[in-house]
Amino acid sequence: VRCQHYPPLRALQASAVLRRVSDEHKKEPLTSSSQQHFDSHPAGHQPEQEPQGPHPSYTGQGGQESEDYESEEQLQHRILTAALEFVPEHGWTAEAIAEGAKTLGLSVAAAGMFHSDGSELVLHFVSECNTKLSELLEKEQKLVQLGEAEKKPIDEFLRDAVEARLRMLIPYIEKWPQALSVLLLPRNIPSSLNLLTSMIDDICHYAGDQSTDFNWYTRRAVLTGIYNTTELVMMQDSSPDFEDTWRFLENRVADAMNMSNTASQVQSTGEAVVQGLMGAAVTVSNAETSRAVR
Amino acid sequence: LPAGGASLRLCSTRVALEDINKPVIDRIIRVDHAGEYGANRIYAGQMAVLGRSSVGPIIQQMWNQEKDHLKKFNELMVAYRVRPTVLLPFWNVAGFVLGAGSALLGKKGAMACTVAVEESISDHYNNQIRTLMEEDPEKYKELLQVIKQFRDDEREHHDIGLEHDAEAAPAYSILKTAIQLGCKAAIFLSERI
Whether B126 contacts chain A with CB within 8 A: no
* CB pair distance less than 8 Å for B13 and A202: yes
pLDDT at position B16 is 43
Distant-in-sequence, close-in-space partners of A256: CB < 8 Å, separation ≥ 6: A158, A222, A223, A226
Residues A60, A62, A64, CA angle at the centre, nearest 5°? 75
Whether B97 contacts chain A with CB within 8 A: no
Whether B12 contacts chain A with CB within 8 A: yes
Phi-psi region of B134 (alpha: psi -120 to 50; beta: other; left: phi over 0): alpha
CA–CA distance, B13 with A203 (Å, rounded to integer): 11
Helix residue ranges per DSSP H, B80-169: 88-104, 107-135, 141-163
Flag residues of chain B having pLDDT under 50.
Answer: 1-16
Whether B3 contacts chain A with CB within 8 A: no
CA–CA distance, B120 with B161 (Å, rounded to integer): 14
Min Cα distance B87 → chain A (Å) is: 9
* CB pair distance less than 8 Å for B10 and A127: yes
pLDDT at position B114 is 94
Min Cα distance B30 → chain A (Å) is: 10
- Chain A residue at shortest CA distance from B77: A212
Mutate to test the interface with B, among A138, A212, A217 (most CBs of B within 10 A): A212
pLDDT at position A19 is 52
* CB pair distance less than 8 Å for B10 and A195: yes
What residues of B are in contact with residue A194 (Cβ under 8 Å)?
Answer: 10, 12
Whether B86 contacts chain A with CB within 8 A: yes
What residues of B are in contact with residue A131 (Cβ under 8 Å)?
Answer: 13
CA–CA distance, B121 with B124 (Å, rounded to integer): 5
- Chain A residue at shortest CA distance from B30: A212
Mutate to test the interface with A, among B1, B7, B10, B32 (most CBs of A within 10 A): B10
Handedness of CA B25, B83, B191, B178 (dihedral sign): positive
Whether B15 contacts chain A with CB within 8 A: yes
Closest CA to A191 of A275, A120, A85, A93: A120
Whether B52 contacts chain A with CB within 8 A: no
- Chain B residue at shortest CA distance from A206: B81
Whether B77 contacts chain A with CB within 8 A: yes
Flag residues of chain A having pLDDT under 70.
Answer: 1-68
Give A141-152 pLDDT, tens digit per residue. 999 999 888 889
Do the beta carbons of residue A107 and residue A96 sit within 8 Å?
no
What residues of B are in contact with residue A2 (Cβ under 8 Å)?
Answer: 11-12, 14, 22
* CB pair distance less than 8 Å for A115 and B7: yes
Do the beta carbons of residue A42 and residue A86 sit within 8 Å?
no
Do the beta carbons of residue A137 and residue A48 sit within 8 Å?
no
Do the beta carbons of residue A194 and residue A130 sit within 8 Å?
no
